[in-house]
Amino acid sequence: MSISLTVLQTGSLRCRTSMLTQSSTRPILLRRLRILTDTSWSPYIPIHVFLISHPEGYILFDTGMSPKCNDWGYFPFWMPSFRMTAQMMIDSEEGLGELLRGRGFDLGREGGEEEEEGGGSGGEGKKRLKAVIVSHLHHDHAGGLSDVVPDAPVYVTKEHWEAEDGHRLNALIDGAVPSHWPKNWIPNFLDPLGPAIGPFERSYPITKDGKVVAVDTPGHDPGHVSLVVYADEATYFLTGDATYSLESLDKEEADGVNSEPLVAVESVRKIKEFCRGTKCVVLPSHDRETMRRAKEREIYVPTTL
């Protein structure tokens, strides 16, 4: 099996325009206030997840948004900011479970007895996921966790887990919904055992050959990671929410919702720096051009500000 990438979409959302970007030097409280008083909407933006096929098995980057997110009570009623600041659009067949089953994946368990280990991850029979890497646990990236747990190991950074699980109220304010994580779930932690890669001081190898590797891109959330995939057809940089679009990346903008905009700007500068040294296709989770760029393998050429 060669190394290749498939982009999938789990619905789309629109949000208050100020959530996409705000000045990185505006005080956090004012950034938050700006969002709550903003009456303008962004265009609808996609929510992508990425499926990597590798000789060691299938690897998933992020789990997308849940088709249940528009159900009454999905977001806590005492946290109306979710509905005030974002509108979600997703059909049941756009959920991660349906998308993967449609591609021949065995997500096991719900049938009860079936536990065929013989299928491996690419041979005859059903496909299995080797690992799921989650950039961060906001609801539009962690909404499909219950589709893959417990069948596949899910990885986040320890730093992210401690920030999210240790401060669930903060996590909720930031956009996570811990009540929808699988019951009593504790993720696996990514190990920073890999060497520096370009401007990234350390890396988290996902495969033994180092062709799929996570790197630190904090700012949008503490412990946020992006994924580099050295596929046969191209090198991909999957940003997660380190940037929402190539346009923002190029302008070195921080998103409007995070609590550490200056850290976020440092991360986007590193991504640009990486792209100066390595020709790659940069694919943000929410860029409306991500699907096309992946198809055309369009190389991102960073401009110098």
Would you tell me which residues interact with Zn ion (CB under 5 A)? 140, 241
Neighbours of 302 (CB within 10 A): 18
Secondary structure class of 303 (helix, strand, coil): coil
Peptide bond into 150 cis (omega under 30): yes
| Closest listed residue to residue 227, CA positions, set 245, 244, 239, 242 | 239
How far apart CA 299 and CA 261 sit, in angstroms, is: 26
Q: How far is the CB of 252 from Zn ion (least distance, A)?
A: 19
Q: Three-state SS string across 221-253, please?
A: CCCCEEEEEECCCCEEEEEECCCCCHHHHHHCC
How far apart CA 160 and CA 133 sit, in angstroms, is: 12
Q: How far is the CB of 13 from Zn ion (least distance, A)?
A: 8
Residue with Cβ nearer Zn ion (53 or 239): 239
Taking CA atoms, 22 is separated from 19, 26, 280, in Å, by 7, 8, 27
Residue with Cβ nearer Zn ion (106 or 140): 140
- Pairing type for strands 45-54 and 57-61 reads antiparallel
Q: How far is the CB of 47 from Zn ion (least distance, A)?
A: 7
Task: Give the bridge partners for 4, in sequence order.
Answer: 53
DSSP string, 104-133: TB---STTSS---GGGTTTSSS-B-EEEEE
Residue with Cβ nearer Zn ion (53 or 245): 245
Residue with Cβ nearer Zn ion (57 or 64): 64
Taking CA atoms, 21 is separated from 54, 67, 115, 286, 302, in Å, by 35, 26, 46, 13, 19
- Identity (one letter) of the amino acid at 242? A
Residue with Cβ nearer Zn ion (56 or 221): 221
Residue with Cβ nearer Zn ion (4 or 70): 70
Q: How far is the CB of 140 from Zn ion (least distance, A)?
A: 4
Residue with Cβ nearer Zn ion (46 or 302): 46
